[in-house]
Chain A
Amino acid sequence: MRVDFSFMVGGEAGQGVQSVGFLLARMFSRGGYHVFADQDYESRVRGGHNFFRIRISTAEVGAIAEDIDILVALNKETIDLHRPKMAQGGIIVYDGDQTQGVTGDSHLLRVPLERLAEERAGGKLMINTVALGAALSLVNYDLGILEKVLEDRFGKGQVAKQNVAAAQAGYDYVQSEHKGDFHTLESCTPTDRMLLTGNEALSLGAIAAGCKFMAAYPMTPASSIMEYLAAKSEDLDLVMVHAEDEIAAINMAVGAGYAGVRAMTATSGSGLCLMVEGIGLAAITETPVVIVDGQRPGPAVGLPTRTEQADLQFVLHAHHGDFARVVLAPATVEDAFWTTVKAFNWAEKYQLPVIILTDQHLASSYATVDQFDLAKVAIDRGLLYSENDADPQEYMRHRVTKSGISPRAFPGLGEALVITDCDEHDESGHLTEDAELRTAQVRKRLRKFHPLKEEAGTPRGYGPQGAQITLVGWGSTCGAIREAVDILRRDELDVNMLHLNELWPFPTQALVDAIGKTRSTYVIESNATGQLARLIKTETGHDVGGRILKYDGRPFTPAHIVEAVRKEEG
């Protein structure tokens, strides 16, 4: 029997919601379960309402579920807000001593979290870990790996020991007071799967691809990328510059790229607004750069800690003038790794800006994935100039070639002078206003797009080819749509999925083929105007009538999509 079980931990910012949530996820991933977890938090350091949802399964899982089996409520608000979503037989763990005004029902289970923390683990700081133990006890989970998990989190020492004592206290209390008469989950074989967020996978992808330089300015949800690279800069010999603003950040990255180093920056929508001129700088100087846009709801500051996919049309057009660019949108945590590797390769191969569109949901959601196979990480630096091929005196950075791609030399590594200009320039890189030279350079830069379009892949399909209904999505919605397809097919609807993780170059033919065959098509996006639907219309001429849109700042769930499709299909 397949295990499909959901925990939620809720409370105020500062109560340790994130910590318990992560530890629960880690306990189950170590135990061999597939895990998907997401975080919902407000833009504040203390107070408010935050929650962390952890779904575990014996099969692959790529989205959160709406129903909650075990709710760990660190305050009353959590109970009030989430009680309606309790599954049948679900249990709410809460501190009955400290929480007033909770009206009873069969879901509620009182555990004296604060008292146990004080008596058994040295203080109130351990309340959340007592709750962790209680939650694990409710599924009779083996605590054998707990100590190691806590040591990995807190280091060997007093803090880890106190946490072990706290978890044990919660665990024992539930076992003795409530006789352990709950859900016993089918056990799994432990694996060496990784548990990591989209941003962590993206950061690892950048490092594996040989990114040596990052410059950025902190902005949710991209900050954790700069923090990760900064933390690893010594061990991995890379540089992360915390720049004065986003304009500096992208310009620094372009400077490093010009000098021959794989370079990136990361931000969110309104930070990207400031970076726009740097996109054009990279384009006209033909300098590789990778730009991560972790989308959040806009315009302007919008909802700073929440999710949306409303930057698609922006990044397709950001900057004036005609030039080639790439826009990629990782579909899953695992894909965030591989897409980032591809982004660095394409940036250098085609000497242009590559934008990676993620969003808050993917950035901060955890998933279990098989360890990335680094042997499959191929690094392609594109066409490089060698002094054996040509006299360095003759070197011209922007030589007009058949493919549009000119060999790159790097300043200071040889005699060849590397000259480039954000003014229009001639082949040598010196500024010019000559009409013919201008035309030749524009054509050359656009020509690079043809081989790029050839190299671009096809969207990922799921479900049977030629189904009557196709659900089309892009980016972080992949897991939710895929599961919706499974649910709808069990209802005997003939449905499949087409999911894009490469938005530009646009996979025109694949879309024409898919949409041409289906009776009805639904484009599913986290935005208000159907930005992918508009892109499909522009590129294929097909008007996709069906749209399932969500722009409340919260991620799609499979249940939401299922309900919307059922409503449309009658």
Chain B
Amino acid sequence: MVTMSDYTGLKPAWCPGCGNFGILRALNKALVEMEIEPHQVLLVSGIGQAGKLPHYTKGNVFNSLHGRPVPPAIGAKIANPELTVIAISGDGDAYGEGGNHFIHAARRNHDITYLVHNNQVYGLTKGQASPTSDFGFVTKTTPRGAANPVNPVAMAIVAGASFVARSFAGDIDHLADLIKQGIAHRGFALIDILQPCVSFNHKNTFQWYRERVHELEQEGDDRSNKRAALERALEWGEGIPIGIIYQDKLPVYEDGLPALKEQPLVRQHVDHGRVEKLLTEFT
């Protein structure tokens, strides 16, 4: 039996009141409820306040470079598909530095879950604008206001992700439920998590989000309708939908790899008999 205490990690170094605490709790809750043990999980994070999360829970950890949690997560998943692989980023990590990886991981539909702590600002480097900062958001690096933000959920749908969701760090039960669904989903699952930054984003606060978020209740066919999903994805402002915005069964990259049919790569050994055959092709 897996319990919350199995997921007690190091003491977080986040600011008091940070939205990250809710995400940490929701992740632990999801893993416990799915009865996944820490050694069955691989958490791959990037750099930023979000990137520290794996240290504050339990599991295998590969804390990677800024913008790069997704590629090593893919490499590890292919090496051992038995692992539950969860990549963790902030908005700068995922949609700025790692933008290309995000698009192509979605397109290839790798079987990993991607949690993006989206606080619309850079926290670790102390308050600069991020790719998701609201238009006109004034910071030290954008004194005349930030340019138009990216829309991560719309991007993910267009790029080809098979599970695209948004949640809110202030609603732990909702987020934990989405994380469970994301892990259970076969294919690339993005969960963009609205996360208030109490130190550097005084606009998009807990209160600001609470007034705007509303839960989606799409099911079945409606959820897999890409056009309708894009409508939902584009909704932002007075109302912000949370929940599963798009989900469909699409071919999973790892399922197309013949080498993974029998057993994980990590359990395989080289067969020199088969290599010998290759050599004769050159004679």
Contact = CB atoms under 8 A, between A and B. Distances in A.
Interface stretch (A87-95, A238-246, A451-459, A498-506): A238-246
A193 B257 CA distance: 33
Interface in A263-283: 263, 277-278, 281
B64 to A, nearest CB: 6
A112 interface: no
Contacts of B73: 255
B1 interface: no
Contacts of B226: none
A194 B270 CA distance: 21
A115 B91 CA distance: 66
Given A233-B259, A251-B71, A255-B71, A207 B270 contact: yes
A410 interface: yes
B96 interface: no
A260 B268 CA distance: 10
A253 B75 CA distance: 6
Interface in B51-96: 52, 54-55, 58-65, 68, 70-76, 78-80, 82-83
A411 interface: yes
A244 B75 contact: no
B127 interface: no
A197 B54 CA distance: 45
Contact of B258 (A237, A277, A411): A237
Contacts of A412: 39-40, 42, 60, 80, 82-83, 266
Tell me whether chain B's interface is mostly helix, strand or loop, or mixed. helix
B269 to A, nearest CB: 7
B4 to A, nearest CB: 17
Contacts of B145: none
Given A213-B78, A251-B68, A420-B61, A208 B39 contact: no
Contact of B59 (A30, A254, A417, A423): A417
Interface residues of A, number: 69
Contact of B75 (A238, A245, A251): A251
Residue of B79, B270, B276 with highest tally of chain A CB at under 10 A: B79
A232 interface: yes
A259 B63 contact: no
Given A207-B278, A417-B61, A237 B55 contact: no
Contacts of A429: 61
B76 A259 contact: yes
A245 B100 CA distance: 8
B72 A254 contact: yes
Interface in A418-451: 418-423, 429-431
Contacts of B54: 419
A234 B259 CA distance: 6
B272 A208 contact: yes
A247 B68 contact: yes
B150 interface: no
Contacts of B104: 243-244, 248
B21 to A, nearest CB: 18
Interface in B27-62: 38-40, 42, 44, 47, 52, 54-55, 58-62
A411 B266 CA distance: 10
B74 A255 contact: yes
Contacts, number: 200
Interface residues of B, number: 55
A212 interface: yes
A363 to B, nearest CB: 16
Contact of B282 (A196, A237, A253, A416): A196
Given A374-B275, A416-B39, A417-B39, A213 B72 contact: no
Contacts of A260: 79-80, 266
B71 A248 contact: yes
Contacts of A237: 258-259, 262, 265, 268
Contact of A251 (B65, B276, B283): B65
A258 interface: yes
A321 B282 CA distance: 43
A195 B283 CA distance: 6
Residue of B70, B78, B274, B282 with highest tally of chain A CB at under 10 A: B282
A212 B271 CA distance: 11
Given A210-B269, A251-B71, A256 B60 contact: no
A465 to B, nearest CB: 35
B80 A195 contact: no
B72 A252 contact: yes
Nearest to A420: B62
B260 interface: yes
Interface in B232-267: 257-260, 262, 265-266
Interface in B1-33: 10
A497 B79 CA distance: 43
B75 A212 contact: no
A215 B40 CA distance: 24
A414 B266 contact: no
A431 B52 contact: yes
A257 B78 CA distance: 11
A385 interface: no
Shortest beta-carbon contacts, A-B, top 8: A255-B75, A255-B72, A251-B71, A411-B60, A259-B79, A256-B75, A244-B104, A210-B270
Given A248-B100, A258-B72, 18 more contacts: A196-B282, A209-B270, A212-B265, A234-B259, A251-B68, A252-B75, A253-B75, A257-B75, A259-B79, A371-B280, A371-B283, A412-B40, A412-B80, A412-B82, A417-B58, A421-B55, A423-B63, A430-B61
Interface of B: 10, 38-40, 42, 44, 47, 52, 54-55, 58-65, 68, 70-76, 78-80, 82-83, 100-101, 103-104, 257-260, 262, 265-266, 268-272, 274-276, 278-280, 282-283
30 contacts: A192-B280, A204-B278, A204-B279, A209-B270, A213-B79, A215-B71, A235-B274, A236-B274, A236-B278, A251-B68, A251-B101, A254-B72, A254-B75, A258-B75, A259-B75, A259-B83, A371-B279, A374-B275, A411-B39, A412-B60, A413-B266, A416-B39, A417-B39, A417-B61, A419-B60, A420-B61, A420-B63, A422-B64, A431-B52, A431-B63
